[in-house]
Homo-oligomer: A and B are copies of this chain.
Amino acid sequence: MPNLADVIEAYLVELLQQAEQRSIVIQRSDLAALFACAPSQVSYVLQTRFIPQRGYLVETRRGGGGYIRITGLLPSVDELWRQALEISSFALTTNDARHLIGLLYQARLITAREARLLRVALERAVLRLEQPWHDEVRAELMRSMLATLMTSREE
């Protein structure tokens, strides 16, 4: 018997596939009512399934008329991307990050500006953190940014 979480995930994926757009808009309480579960269950599904690492973007708004928008990004294209994600799967030193970014740039998968952006973000993002966390957080951030890049074309 499948999880409720899996069922909800499948339902949302189905909605996304049938949508004209690349995104759908839902309301947390509606979905909770539909599946007769706690609203926070929906949040759980979003937090564990519809994450950047899996190629999704979630935007929300609180208050009256609040909503949740899920955007499914383009399917990934290149094996290099996969490798890049793999490389940053756990921890990433500054040097490893630099090297990886260089590879992506040489392969023309990212622009010079994007490369600089990645470097700056990865260097500055960890400044307020205790040392032991640096490489881990850097990897996490790298994965998110890679997922974003690998699933979005220039418009």
Contacts and interface: CB of A to CB of B under 8 A. Distances in A.
Interface of A: 1-3, 6, 52, 57, 64-65, 111-114, 116-121, 123-125, 127-129, 133, 137, 140-141, 144-145, 147-149, 152-155
Contacts of A127: 140
Counting every copy of the chain, the complex holds 2
B2 A148 contact: no
Nearest to A105: B155
Given A113-B152, A117-B117, A152-B113, A65 B128 contact: no
Nearest to A98: B59
Contacts of A145: 117, 120-121
B65 A154 contact: no
Nearest to A6: B65
Contact of A141 (B112, B118, B124, B148): B124
